[in-house]
Amino acid sequence: GQQVMQIPQYQHVQEGEDFTTYCNSSTTLSNIQWYKQRPGGHPVFLIQLVKSGEVKKQKRLTFQFGEAKKNSSLHITATQTTDVGTYFCAGPGTGGFKTIFGAGTRLFVKA
């Protein structure tokens, strides 16, 4: 069945270091969404990418959608302690399901 895989599962960084999480789909996606979930919190929508090769920025966060629309990445420049949490990608599902979420990448930032 359709899968959305994220790597790495978790990453520890020193504050100020960069961080990247990657999302790979087994099928071509019409769009991809990214969410952030703080520890103990709920997922919060960050952004949606639609176009092949699209790049969007939100302050220190850079989001990319691959040319083949099967992969995406989120890059954080100069991480801060406020960046801690789990980052999820999500894409439209097949078989009648609305959205397939990746398992997430948990980011730990050491001050």
Partner 1 sequence: NAGVTQTPKFQVLKTGQSMTLQCAQDMNHNSMYWYRQDPGMGLRLIYYSASEGTTDKGEVPNGYNVSRLNKREFSLRLESAAPSQTSVYFCASLPRQGIGYTFGSGTRLTVV
Q: Which residues here bind partner 1, judged by CB under 8 A?
A: 9, 33, 35, 41-45, 48, 88, 90, 93, 96-99, 101-104
At closest approach, how far in Å is the CB of 41 from partner 1?
7
Q: Which is nearer to partner 1, 66 or 104 (CB)?
A: 104
- What 3 state SS string does the chain have? CCCEEEECCEEEEECCCCEEEEEEECCCCCCEEEEEECCCCCEEEEEEECCCCCEEEECCEEEEECCCCCEEEEEECCCCHHHCEEEEEEEECCCCCCEEECCCEEEEEEC
Q: Which is nearer to partner 1, 42 or 111 (CB)?
A: 42
Q: Which is nearer to partner 1, 19 or 87 (CB)?
A: 87
At closest approach, how far in Å is the CB of 15 from partner 1?
26
At closest approach, how far in Å is the CB of 78 from partner 1?
26
